[in-house]
Structure 1
Amino acid sequence: MELSLERVDKQVGPAHHLYPIDLRLQPNAVTVLLGATQAGKTSLMRLMAGLDTPSHGKVMVDGRDVTGVPVRDRNVAMVYQQFINYPSMTVADNIASPLKLRGGLDRAAIDRQVQALAERLHIDPFLQRLPAELSGGQQQRVAMARALAKGAPLLLLDEPLVNLDYKLREELREELVALFAGGESTVVYATTEPTEALLLGGYTAVMDAGELLQYGPTSEVFHRPRSIRVARAFSDPPMNLLPASHTAGGVQLAGGPLLPLALADDARASSLTVGVRAPAFRVTGRPGDLALPGQVELAEISGSDTFVHVATAVGEVVAQLTGVHVLDLGSTVTLYLDPAQAYVFDAAGDLLVAPAGRN
């Protein structure tokens, strides 16, 4: 399926839920809608599904204008944050319901597909139970299995894993990547988590406050964010943003070292911002690294990483260090940075320089 949005927007009274958006989804691939809460992800998905009609613009499917065509007249499957299941049907019958409606399959074939989906989503022990007998996370997985069983050409998933525990989310992400790899549906997956977008791969549309900021292959959008707004949305922890200015030798951090980065003549604005992702910092220097000494304000161990908040001459920065590092509050630490790993943005927040090898 080829889904295109042509200058669609959504306004309710004086409030703009979506500003005019042009977007052509890559057919039969995964597109991640990435953005914070209230970025407009759900509003956009409802227009794609036909649950809402845009205030202006067109929704096109395979070259046909379907603006205003209700969801019941479209072949779409959608999974919401809040699961929806048939309460009087067993889990098995919930999953099987779209297969029965589609027709053309005997009972044995339906049972095989139900069993396969239930196993992949870790709900096979509950096939004969009613939804009310399951936990919220289990019921959400039933809703996902039913949507996947429908085999619709457009599959919309609105933060489907948000109510699951961390370990199960990690397992199901891997299963979903495998399920989507067949390329039989155009999949749109909304999330607030940059890590989830990277794991799902495919394409990413970054949204903020009802605007579409950037769309493209996920790795390209991550490594070359078009603006500070995109970089903020696609960095977890948030990208460190440091004031700087252009000098004859490169980019001068305010109160800190000089980054020997060349700028184009027309990009040499006096007011710049240097962006550094948290994993780019190290506590062991290498030749050519810049040193940022400072004091530890907070050190958090999360899984196999340590997140360190450090007060430096250029401002507070957050470093994501691989491994477990025991750092006392108030102690002195020196962070090291390869200048080639820095981003540079102009006064308007637009990207001027991306890390080496990412241009």
Structure 2
Amino acid sequence: MSVVLEGVTKRVGAETHIRDVSLALDKGSLNVLLGQTLAGKTSLMRLMAGLDAPTEGRVRVDGRDVTGWPVQRRNVAMVYQQFINYPSLTVYENIASPLRVARLPRAEIESRVREAARLLKLDPYLQRRPLELSGGQQQRTAIARALVKRADLVLMDEPLANLDYKLREELREELPRIFAQTGAIFVYATTEPAEALLLGGRTASLYQGRLTQFGPTAEVYRRPDDLTTARVFSDPPLNTLRAVKAAGRVSLSTGGQVRAAGSLASAPDGSLTLGFRAHHLALDPLPAEAIAFPATVEVSEITGSESFVHVAAGEHRFVAQVPGVRRLEPGTQTVLHLDPRHLLVFDEAGRRAAAAPAQAAA
């Protein structure tokens, strides 16, 4: 099975929720929709499911135009943020409910429910009711009910957002294994770049209803096509500064000049925007080619295993994500160091202007 969106646009009144999106999803694939709140993730899923019809464009399944088909005619399952289960039914009956509606034979229902329960590690809880379960177990039940339908397309709209940190981490690690054991197309929406990286597969970066890039998740992260995609795929927010390259030298808006090394070596002369992620900034000296600039500490956030140091460098505000406990008092003068191999380089229009070397994968 394949799902293809062709120039899909969705307008509601004067607002455009989806803008000319074309996307092809292959059978057995895991696809992540990554974007901030209101980027268009849910709207795009509703178009895929048939809950909404596009204002323009086409939706095709295995080459067949299904644009006008309602959700009832499509083999689709959805999982939402909320734990949508029937409180009066046992876990077993919750999982079995779509199969009973479809009037499948009792033996088939039993087989599918047991298979889904095993996959989601719900075997010990089949006779409990949802309110007797933890949040993670309730969401596992909702996921099992989606999988048991053996739908061709499974849509998951930020399904872990309402879980606590430990439960999110647990399910994030398990979901790729669960996805791999089915032949369905999975579409998983998230606002978190780290979640997209953990899930893998392919990622579609969305911004204000536009698709900015679609490809293997690691590739989109390492080599964003434009500044917008780089920002969508960065948490903490992407650090940026302005630069001008001429005759093998680069003048920085933080002050000073550096030799055009690393990613800057292949960039064209002219005005550029340099992007770099928080974990690529260091407080300790780096090799000789590193870019260094003075900064003033504004606040330090210590999480235990790492620290987030917010600094001011002239007119710029940067965040450095450094390992360990680095307790720097506000007003402390420091020097930031940046390896030019990790720079993302964009032209004046925000398009990628230099190929990021393979070493910039981290």
TM (norm. structure 2) is 0.91
User: Aligned partners of 2:275, 2:282: CA distance in 1, in Å?
Assistant: 16
The residue aligned with 2:202 is 203
Distance 1:126 1:253, change over 3 A: same
1:166: Cα distance to partner? 0.5
The residue aligned with 1:62 is 62
The residue aligned with 1:252 is 251
User: Aligned partners of 1:41, 1:293: CA distance in 2, in Å?
Assistant: 40
User: Aligned partners of 1:136, 1:167: CA distance in 2, in Å?
Assistant: 11
Unaligned runs of 5+ in 2: none
Query: Cα RMSD between the aligned structures?
Result: 2.1
Percentage of identical aligned residues: 54
What are the Cα deviations for residues 164-193 of structure 1, in whole angstroms up to 9, with x where unaligned? Answer: 000110010111011112351110000000
The one-letter code sitting in structure 1 at the alignment partner of 2:111 is A
1:316 aligns to 2:317 (yes or no): yes
1:13: Cα distance to partner? 1.2
1:118: Cα distance to partner? 4.3
Distance 1:259 1:97, change over 3 A: farther
User: Aligned partners of 2:333, 2:153: CA distance in 1, in Å?
Assistant: 54
User: Aligned partners of 1:355, 1:277: CA distance in 2, in Å?
Assistant: 13
The one-letter code sitting in structure 2 at the alignment partner of 1:184 is G
The one-letter code sitting in structure 2 at the alignment partner of 1:35 is G
1:35: Cα distance to partner? 0.2
1:126: Cα distance to partner? 3.9
User: Aligned partners of 1:176, 1:115: CA distance in 2, in Å?
Assistant: 14
The one-letter code sitting in structure 2 at the alignment partner of 1:347 is E
The one-letter code sitting in structure 1 at the alignment partner of 2:300 is A
The residue aligned with 1:164 is 163
1:219 aligns to 2:218 (yes or no): yes
1:330 aligns to 2:331 (yes or no): yes
The residue aligned with 2:145 is 146
Higher alpha-carbon deviation: 221-230 or 135-144: 135-144
SS of alignment partner, residue 17 of structure 2: strand
The one-letter code sitting in structure 2 at the alignment partner of 1:32 is V
User: Aligned partners of 2:35, 2:175: CA distance in 1, in Å?
Assistant: 20
CA contact (8 A) 2:153 2:186 kept: yes
Distance 1:63 1:303, change over 3 A: farther
User: Aligned partners of 1:283, 1:33: CA distance in 2, in Å?
Assistant: 34
User: Aligned partners of 1:56, 1:222: CA distance in 2, in Å?
Assistant: 30
The one-letter code sitting in structure 2 at the alignment partner of 1:94 is N
CA contact (8 A) 1:280 1:337 kept: yes
1:27: Cα distance to partner? 2.6
SS of alignment partner, residue 265 of structure 2: coil
The one-letter code sitting in structure 2 at the alignment partner of 1:141 is R
1:40: Cα distance to partner? 0.4
The residue aligned with 2:15 is 15
Pairing of 1:1-359 with structure 2 (within 5 A): 1-99=1-99, 101=102, 102-103=104-105, 105-106=107-108, 109-110=111-112, 112-119=114-121, 123-134=122-133, 137-182=136-181, 184-254=183-253, 255-260=255-260, 261-263=264-266, 267-269=268-270, 271-285=271-285, 286-313=287-314, 315-357=316-358
The one-letter code sitting in structure 1 at the alignment partner of 2:155 is L
SS of alignment partner, residue 128 of structure 1: coil
1:137: Cα distance to partner? 5.0
